[in-house]
Structure 1
Amino acid sequence: MPAPNAAAVPVTADHGSATWRLIKAESKLCLRDKVAPLWGVGFPLIVLIILGAIPTLREPVEGGGGLTYFDFYVPVLILFNLAILATAALPITLAGYRESGVLRRLRTTPIGPARVLTAQLVASFAIALVAMILFLAVAGLGFGVDLPRNPFGFAVAWLLAAAALLSIGLLITALAPGRGPASAIGTVLFFPLMFFAGLWVPIPQMPPVLQTISYYTPLGAGMRAFQDAYQGNFPSILPLVILTAYAAGCSLIAVRWFRWE
């Protein structure tokens, strides 16, 4: 005869941890909803192909060592992909859960904010990784853009840039009461972030004050680290420290001030 309290002991070993189950569920929902894949992969990839097809962007930059304007745009567009995931796709998804009452029900479980945010982070990170590989493949095979000369340095820079940007997305997600505010906050952040990454004006052509500001923004720091890797060097320590600070700071604040409803 079983012990009286045997039914009260949960059996979870065969199904993995709650965090892992939540990650798998969020990944499936992410693919099913198609918001993150479309915004995080499809739209930036279309922008990459359109820019690569513009003849003037295929011309060498004066003093650029034989590089074309499009060569300089590829790392910017990789950051563009991370920014659009962080400011558009990620916040809208979880803010939608809050708006529809899903998070209110999750609050009654032992999951906790850290696990909820971790699941979103991993799902978005996987999409960003696929997008980055596609970007480099299309740019290299389709338009002859060289891969970064320091692959390890580029990998480190990309990982930290992804962590920093997605952590900002988690912070928006943690605080926004619904889809509307999340979308508004993300839009307000997106354009200055991309400006300081050099999307419209290359960072070296900015006034000195704007260059300094750019160096301390997540995308500006990411761009500096990418440039080092493309030139064959391991990224400088300062941009890596800046990216790490954004990732750690935004993540901690997101977990601490997470709103269930």
Structure 2
Amino acid sequence: MSAQTIAAGPGSATWRLIKTESRLFVRDKVGPLWGVGFPLIVLVILGSIPLLRETVEGTGGLTYFDLYVPVLILFNLAILATGALPTTLAGYRENGVLRRMRTTPVGPARVLLAQLVANFAVALVAMVLFLAVAWLAFGIDLPQNLFGFAVGWLFTAFALLSIGLLITALASGRGPATAIGTVLFFPMMFFAGLWVPLASLPQTLQTIAHYTPLGAGMRTFQEAYQGEFPSVAPLLILVAYAVGCTAIAVRWFRWE
């Protein structure tokens, strides 16, 4: 790829880089397998358990399985944000890829953009797949407010991917990126209701959950399932995470 070609068509060069990074992302298998395949298998298993069809108090008539569908969508976002995205980019830094690309017309900024697009695309496909399987295979209703659900998902995706960029900025290589991502992943998933539905938690923990990225995301999902548009509070919390983590990541990001 020549500098003249890039200068003449930066958009096309960026698009080629996005396609290349997307192919590498799928070939690496970590994101697709753990972020899509594993939660999809869990979805099928949970959908086969009759006990999970019981109604959960305080959720407006939703069942346990109704709650686990959006939780697994959040699981997908969390895996991509705390695992696939930071380990890939930190690996690029560790192997000197970012340093070498910094001297080319392509530049490392486009590598970041390409990785963000690849992760976002996989997350979008996974979200549609989870909803479709839950609806067609198990008869779980789609969110009553689909537009509100889409807005909540977008805000949550941006917030989570910004956290992935922050991990990338702080980690010197794949090992530290994996360690930081793992430390963040489990408490975030706890407050998303992976092990215990949020409505079953003590009030203090429910309040804390509302201020976590996945807890706020889960709140927008629940409101959309009940036919409401996501309220302002969780959306503002997600925006705060997205803006704050992105600003810190940009400030402290190291190409070498």
| Superposition pairs of residues 184-223 of structure 1, within 5 angstroms | 184-223=179-218
2:245 to 232, 250, 261: 250
Q: 1:20 to 1:230 in 2, by over 3 A?
A: same
Moved more, 15-24 or 37-46: 15-24
Give the letter for the 1:117 counterpart.
Answer: L
Letter in 1 for 2:27: R
The aligned counterpart of 1:58 is 53
Find the counterpart in structure 1 of residue 26 from structure 2: 31
Q: Corresponding residue for 1:10?
A: 4
Provide the residue aligned with 1:4 in structure 2: none
SS in 1 for 2:103: coil
Partner in structure 1 of residue 73 of structure 2: 78
Cα gap change, 1:243 to 1:63, in 2 (>3 Å): closer
Which residue, 224, 228, 237 being the options, matches 2:232?
237
In structure 2, how many angstroms separate the alpha carbons of the residues matched to 1:112 and 1:226? 37
Amino acid corresponding to residue 125 of structure 2 in structure 1: V
Larger radius of gyration: 1
Q: Distance in 1 between matches of 2:165 and 2:141?
A: 33
- Shift in Å, 1:165: 0.6
Partner of 2:110: 115
Distance 1:240 1:198, change over 3 A: same
Which residue pairs with 1:105 in the alignment? 100
Which of 160, 165, 168 is the aligned partner of 2:163?
168
Alpha-carbon separation, structure 2, partners of 1:61 and 1:121:
36
**Aligned equivalents of 2:68, 2:208: Cα separation in 1:** 20
Whichever residue aligns with residue 120 of structure 2, its letter is F
Distance change in 2, residues 1:256/1:112 (3 Å): farther
Corresponding position of 2:131: 136
Q: 1:115 to 1:11 in 2, by over 3 A?
A: closer
Which segments of 5 or more consecutive residues in structure 2 lack a partner in the other structure? none
Distance change in 2, residues 1:175/1:17 (3 Å): farther
Preserved contact between residue 31 and residue 79 of structure 2 (Cα < 8 Å): no
Secondary structure of residue in 1 paired with 2:75: helix
CA spacing shift, 1:256–1:178, aligned 2, 3 Å: same
Is the alpha carbon distance of 1:65 and 1:163 closer, same or farther for their aligned partners in structure 2, counting shifts above 3 Å? closer
Deviation at 1:33, TM superposition (A): 1.7
Q: Structure 1: which 5+ residue stretches go unaligned?
A: 1-7
In 2: Cα distance, 1:11 partner to 1:63 partner: 59
Give distance in 2, aligned partners of 1:212 and 1:157: 19
2:47–2:65 CA contact under 8 A, matched in 1: yes
Aligned residues with identical type, % of pairs? 78
Deviation, 1:100, is: 1.6
2:189–2:214 contact (8 Å) kept in structure 1 = yes
How far the C-alpha of 1:77 sits from its partner, in A, is: 1.1
Range with greater deviation from structure 2 (55-64 or 20-29): 55-64
TM-score computed with the length of structure 1 as normaliser: 0.90
CA contact (8 A) 1:136 1:147 kept: yes
Contact 2:145 2:227 in 1 (8 A): yes
Q: Which stretch of the first structure deviates more once superposed, 189-198 or 241-250?
A: 241-250
The answer (yes or no) to whether the contact 1:113–1:255 under 8 Å persists in 2 is no
Equivalent residue number for residue 228 of structure 1: 223
Count of residue pairs the alignment pairs up: 254
Stretch of structure 1 that moved more, 63-72 or 92-101:
63-72
Query: Once the 2 structures are TM-superposed, how far is the Cα of residue 61 of structure 1 from its aligned partner?
Result: 3.6
- Residues in 1 aligned to 2:78 and 2:41: alpha-carbon distance in whole angstroms: 16
Give 1:5's aligned residue.
none
Distance 2:43 2:52 in 1: 11
Contact 1:167 1:247 in 2 (8 A): yes
